[in-house]
Amino acid sequence: MRMKKYEFWFVVGSQFLYGPEVLETVAARAQEMAKELSVSLPYPLVYKVTAKTNREISEVVKEANYDDACAGIVTWCHTFSPSKMWINGLAELQKPWCHLATQYNREIPNEEIDMDFMNLNQAAHGDREHGFLGARLRKPRKIIAGHWQDEDVRKRLGDWMRSAVGAAFSRQLKVMRFGDNMREVAVTEGDKVEAQTRLGWQVNTWPVGKLAQTMDAVTDAEIDALMDAYRAAYDFATDDLETVRYQAREEIAMKKMLDEEGCMAFSNTFQDLYGMRQLPGLASQHLMAQGYGYGGEGDWKVAAMTAILKAMGEEGNGASAFMEDYTYHLVKGQEYSLGAHMLEVCPSLAADRPRIEVHPLGIGDREAPARLVFEGKEGDAIVVSLVDMGGRLRLICQDIHCVKPILPMPNLPVARVMWQAEPSLTTGVECWITAGGAHHTVLSYDVTAEMMKDWARIMDIEFVHITKGTTVESLEKELFLNDLAWKLK
């Protein structure tokens, strides 16, 4: 995956006051830390400089801004590092920034500690001077405090790296639209100029007729090869191989058009399938399994967000999927949301090996399509929704717990995921509706709410988090204040 090329730069603050020996020690330790941290981080941390002057900081920032491989900088002050010399550099910084408030030594050594030790190991006050400047400049930054060898510190630093890579991915993301948004639907609409300005997305349309032509040009040999891939990954619960082969034809044609334009996300709509015999089901599902983002009913926002969460996840293609809140189970004490879509649920969510089935589809006026059917796996997850509030974008995130579906639902012909929502199903729904969250979401098992908060901070968009502790009253207040704040911004 293209995410693999990214790295992060370690910029360590110091000053000349303590003499060359201290500076050599700081540089050697910073190098050692970067090397050791890189072993357990998803992307390499590369030691760059022990910064002692305004010029050194400005230069490393300029270099970082224009280096495509650099996805962000991590700063730390081993000694005191007067912050006025950081102003010019940080004011120019365009890459994500993490302030790692750590310390080389874990313990205060009882016998060894003297004033030389104190002058060398000053992060406790050096990082405060550094932090003041970040606050004073109103620079968005992630702050992580703790010993650099601790597992939780490494996990959080790694997660922040994934968010920063999600930002880099977002800024070069292209979305291919087949057809427009579903007629009359509001929440799937949005300002594509604002989305590109803020998030970098290039959202454009291609004719469904061109897709139909590209499908006609797909060869039997290409379809045979993709059928082998389907057989390797899925069980065939149908004898209707022609229908499955038609989905393969659609997948091959869509992938050709996406790859030709460098698009990592696409949307389509059942209202515009001109020249196509089936709504893509299995075709879209298998494209999602390969890391492409998808949105139904022309929902290009959720298509882009699906691609971004996939890129942020494990191995650059995590367990994140386009999802829709479909129907509720409202039995007291047993309240669940059932998520699915007409066809297009990504098999990265599957608890077991998915089955290929063919069933009629009441919507779209086309032939019965092949689709993957499975149950979603158990585990903590989030659902996120990006909505256009007019003048700004709002990202809503809710904590959920996926369960094994409590009913077998043998006649439901689509993949399904069942979950409990925080703080409860009904209060969660009240909060979601209060915030204007969409029916389409991205559900993710491996991207966390903290990662989405960091991503939203980097992209400079509003972030709303519905958690165990959220009440409708607190959320209404937060949204009211957010409205005021974002009008002033």
Q: Which is nearer to Mn ion, 250 or 324 (CB)?
A: 324
Smallest gap from Cβ 326 to Mn ion, in A, equals 9
Pick the closer one to Mn ion by CB: 126 or 280.
280
Nearest approach, Cβ of 296 to Mn ion (angstroms)? 4
CA dist., res. 278 & res. 367, Å (int) = 5
For the record, the structure tokens of 442 come out as 């991205």
Q: How far, CA to CA in Å, does 143 sit from each of 97, 268, 387, 420, 476?
A: 9, 40, 27, 31, 28
Closest contact distance (angstroms) between CB of 175 and Mn ion is 17
Q: What DSSP letter does each residue of 32-70 carry, written as one string?
A: HHHHHHHHHSSS-EEEEEEE-SHHHHHHHHHHHHH-TTE
Integer Cα distance of 405 and 443 in angstroms: 16
Q: How far is the CB of 56 from Mn ion (least distance, A)?
A: 52
> Phi and psi (nearest 5°) for 181?
-65, 155
C-beta of 324 vs 399, nearer to Mn ion:
324
225 Cβ contact partners less than 8 Å away, ≥ 6 residues apart: none
Q: Which is nearer to Mn ion, 344 or 375 (CB)?
A: 344
Spatial separation of the C-alpha atoms in residues 387 and 424, rounded to whole Å: 22
Degrees, nearest 5: CA angle 222-226-230: 165
**Closer residue to Mn ion, CB minimum distance, 118 or 363:** 363
What is the DSSP secondary structure assignment for residue 111, as one 8-state letter? T
Q: CB nearest Mn ion: which residue?
A: 296
If the CB atoms of residues 30 and 283 are measured against Mn ion, the closer one turns out to be: 283
Cβ of residue 465: shortest distance to Mn ion, in angstroms?
Answer: 24
CB of 302 to Mn ion, least distance (A): 9
Classify residue 411 by its DSSP letter: T
Nearest CB to Mn ion, comparing residues 134 and 296 = 296
126 or 296: whose CB is closer to Mn ion? 296
Least separation in angstroms between CB 271 and Mn ion = 12
**Edge to edge, what strands does the sheet with 235-236 contain?**
235-236, 355-358, 370-373
Interface residues with Mn ion (CB under 5 A) are 296-297, 324
| Nearest distance from C-beta of residue 386 to Mn ion, angstroms | 15
Q: What is the DSSP code (8-state) at residue 278?
A: S
